[in-house]
């Protein structure tokens, strides 16, 4: 219906991570944990011409043809994608919770978040670990900082400000939008639904994904050729089985 009204529904950025993340999510909707483990953890052979990757690449290409993505988005970065959503130009943006605080500030319209439909898996991880270097000269200060940030007070503040806290009191999250975001993340985490990010497995893969998805958007490459390029780059960089 958006396209029928002359509206491009999906905010996208082919020159950065948004486009490749759309495609990876489409593949994930047809994948399972074993598929993710093969791709991300090298626990099996990754075949970029399997059913999941083929569905992802073909559907992404089809969505460009249907007008769900703008062809001009091939040259846009993540900032341009985000601005097309915050300005109200594009009604939907698929991306990460790191946008949340900015959306709370910049969006001048009613909005909300939801999980990708009909998929048990989505992009994401459990976050980063605190690390204090062994040779640090200020270990006590680092420990104090960690204690402060992990305190209930700060964790609850993060939770009500668009962050996804790991040690908040659930009853203290009073902002409805924040509660939805956190509940969705917790649901995914509890159900083993986090599948990391598409560029993580091998060095330099981010640039390969950017270049490839740009070509799918412009139509200068077909899904089969795109997947073959990914296979070549992945096999070159992944540990030998």
Q: Give the 3-state secondary structure of residue 111.
A: coil
Q: How far is CA 84 from the centre of its chain?
A: 17
Taking the CB of residue 44, how many other CB atoms lie within 10 A of it? 12
Give pLDDT, residue 127.
74
- For the chain, the first-to-last Cα distance in angstroms comes to 47
Q: Where does the chain have alpha helices with state H?
A: 17-28, 33-41, 51-66, 78-86, 100-106, 139-149, 152-159, 176-190, 205-218, 223-237
Instruction: Spell out the domain ranges in the chain.
Output: 3-124+196-237, 139-190
Give pLDDT, residue 240.
87
What residues of the chain score a pLDDT lower than 50? none
Give pLDDT, residue 168.
76
CB-based burial, 76-108: b 16+ in 10 Å, e otherwise = bbbebbbbbbbeeebeebbbebebbeebeeeee
Give pLDDT, residue 68.
98
Concatenating the DSSP letter of every residue in 51-90 gives HHHHHHHHHHHHHHHHTSS-GGGGG--HHHHHHHHHTTSS
Contacts of 239 (CB under 8 A, 6+ apart): 42
Burial label, 134 (beta-carbon count in 10 A; 0-12, 13-18, 19+): exposed
Q: Give the 3-state secondary structure of residue 122.
A: strand
Give pLDDT, residue 153.
93
CA distance linking residue 28 with residue 219, whole number of Å:
23
- pTM given for the model: 0.92
Give pLDDT, residue 74.
98
Give pLDDT, residue 11.
99
| CATH level 3 topology of 3-124+196-237 | D-Maltodextrin-Binding Protein; domain 2 (3.40.190)
Beta bridge partners of 11: 93
Mean pLDDT of all residues belonging to the chain = 95
Give pLDDT, residue 70.
96
Q: Convert the pLDDT of each residue in 89-135 to its tens digit.
A: 999 999 999 999 899 999 999 999 999 999 999 999 987 788 999 99
Give pLDDT, residue 87.
97
Query: Do the Cβ atoms of 193 and 121 come closer than 8 Å?
Result: yes
């Amino acid at each position: 219906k958006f396209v029928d009204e002359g509206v491009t529904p999906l905010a996208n950025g082919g020159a950065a991570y948004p486009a490749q993340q759309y495609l990876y999510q489409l593949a994930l909707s047809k994948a399972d944990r074993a598929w993710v483990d093969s791709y991300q953890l090298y626990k099996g052979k990754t075949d970029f011409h399997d059913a999941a990757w083929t569905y992802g690449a073909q559907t992404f290409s089809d969505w460009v043809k249907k007008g769900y993505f703008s062809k001009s988005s091939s040259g846009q970065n993540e900032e341009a994608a985000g601005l097309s959503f915050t300005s109200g130009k594009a009604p939907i943006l698929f991306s990460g919770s790191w946008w949340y605080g900015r959306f709370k500030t910049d969006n001048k319209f009613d909005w909300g978040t939801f999980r990708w439909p009909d998929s048990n898996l989505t992009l994401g991880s459990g976050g980063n670990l605190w690390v204090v270097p062994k040779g640090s000269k200020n270990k006590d200060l680092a420990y104090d900082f960690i204690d402060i940030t992990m305190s209930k007070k700060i964790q609850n503040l993060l939770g009500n400000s668009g962050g996804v806290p790991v040690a908040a009191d659930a009853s203290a999250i009073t902002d409805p939008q924040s509660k939805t975001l956190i509940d969705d993340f917790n649901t995914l985490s509890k159900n083993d639904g986090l599948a990391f990010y598409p560029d993580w497995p091998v060095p330099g893969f981010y640039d390969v994904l950017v270049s490839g998805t740009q070509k799918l958007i412009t139509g200068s490459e077909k899904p089969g050729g795109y997947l073959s390029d990914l296979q070549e780059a992945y096999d070159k960089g992944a540990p030998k089985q």
